[in-house]
């Protein structure tokens, strides 16, 4: 049977691998797969937190701190993506608003059959 320290080392190594995979997925914009990785990592994080008070586990703090820093970097990347998407969404809303104001100036829509006939001529 593993000691709490051995278990924590094993869990931390697995978590480091998952964070590496998550980071690569975020960079390639595979957000659904990144969420799956986060779901897989959640039980590891909970178990590591449970083991944190056990003797010998405290010495792993530098590895945990490095792992947290990598996660913070991933969150910064996600925040950047989110800001860009929100900006694009704002542009789409502005374009729709302009279209709603300008559209009535051009009159009522013609029936589709009439439009097809005019384009064929």
Across the chain, what does the average pLDDT equal? 86
70-83 in b/e form (b: 16+ CB < 10 A) is: ebeebeeeeeeeee
Q: Is residue 101 part of a domain?
A: no
DSSP string, 17-82: HHHHHHHHHHHTT-HHHHHHHHHHHHHHHHHHHHHTTSTTTGGGHHHHHHHHHHHHHHHHHHHHHH
By residue range, what is the domain housing residue 13?
Answer: 4-76
SS3 for 107? coil
The pLDDT tens digits for 13-61 are 999 999 999 999 998 989 889 889 989 999 999 999 999 888 889 899 9
Q: Is residue 91 part of a domain?
A: no
Residue 11 has pLDDT above 60, yes or no: yes
Q: Is residue 107 part of a domain?
A: no
CA gap 35, 26 in Å, rounded: 10
Q: Is residue 90 part of a domain?
A: no
Q: Is residue 93 part of a domain?
A: no
Q: Is residue 113 part of a domain?
A: no
The pLDDT tens digits for 53-104 are 888 898 999 999 999 999 898 889 889 989 999 999 999 999 999 888 887 7
Number of domains within the chain: 1
């Amino acid at each position: 049977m593993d000691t709490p320290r051995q278990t924590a080392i094993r869990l931390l190594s697995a978590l480091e691998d998952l964070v590496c995979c998550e980071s690569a997925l975020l960079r390639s914009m595979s957000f659904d797969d990144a969420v799956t990785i986060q779901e897989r990592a959640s039980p590891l994080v909970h178990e590591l937190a449970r083991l944190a008070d056990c003797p010998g586990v405290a010495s792993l703090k530098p590895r945990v701190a490095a792992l947290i820093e990598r996660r913070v970097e991933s969150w910064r990347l996600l925040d950047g993506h989110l800001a860009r998407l929100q900006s694009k969404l704002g542009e789409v809303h502005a374009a729709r608003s302009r279209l709603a104001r300008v559209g009535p100036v051009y009159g009522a829509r013609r029936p589709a059959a009439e439009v097809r006939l005019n384009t064929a001529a």
